[in-house]
Amino acid sequence: MGRGGGKNGLISAISDFLSTPLHGVKEYHISIVANSEDQAKTSFDEIRTVLMDNKRNKTGKTPKAPYEVSKAKIINRATKSVIRYNTSNTKTKDGGREGCVIFDEIHYFFGPEMVNVKRGGLGKKKIEERFI
């Protein structure tokens, strides 16, 4: 998908859905990976904003809301699925247990190392997904 095609909106919608009971996989962790933190946070922040605006995050006033939301991760309380964002630094990203890895702006990656590291964490869930 090219520039302006709604790539981040698609990433946000897919990530949110895959973390829910509708997807049907518990502890289905999702990583959104990009070269820069700002780019990696774009879709994450969209999801976070929608959850906060629609009062779907756990607070003192909404203790039974379906999500725990912080600036670093989003946890679906029913499935224990976690949505995170990551930069493309391979030295700190090994050992992930993701069910889904989304590579945003992959054409900017300096080599295949990050893709290989993140792909290595897949396969620990019955359904694994990669989006490039």
Residue 78: inside a domain, yes or no?
yes
Report d(CA 30, CA 2) in Å as an integer: 23
Residue 1: inside a domain, yes or no?
no
Asked if residue 128 has pLDDT above 70, the reply is no
Report d(CA 108, CA 128) in Å as an integer: 24
For position 74, which CATH number holds?
3.40.50.300
Asked if residue 6 has pLDDT above 90, the reply is no
Residue 57, domain extent: 7-131
What's the angle, vertex CA 11, arms to CA 101 and CA 5, rounded to 5?
130
Q: State residue 104's pLDDT score.
A: 78
Q: State residue 59's pLDDT score.
A: 87
The answer to whether residues 122 and 114 touch, using CB atoms and an 8 Å cutoff, is: no
Residue 19: inside a domain, yes or no?
yes
Residue 101: inside a domain, yes or no?
yes
The count of structural domains within the chain is 1
Q: State residue 106's pLDDT score.
A: 58
Picking from 112, 111, 117, 109, the residue whose alpha carbon sits closest to that of residue 35 is 109
| Tens of pLDDT, residues 15-47 | 999 999 999 899 999 988 887 888 889 999 999
Residue 70: inside a domain, yes or no?
yes
Q: How confident is the model at residue 101 (pLDDT cuts 50, 70, 90)?
A: confident
Residue 100: inside a domain, yes or no?
yes
Helix, strand or coil, per DSSP, at residue 26 = coil
Q: How remote is the C-alpha of 28 from its chain's centroid? A: 10
Residue 72: inside a domain, yes or no?
yes
Asked if residue 132 has pLDDT above 60, the reply is no
Residue 66: inside a domain, yes or no?
yes
Q: Which of 34-43, 96-105, 114-123 has the lowest mean pLDDT?
A: 114-123
Report d(CA 20, CA 76) in Å as an integer: 7
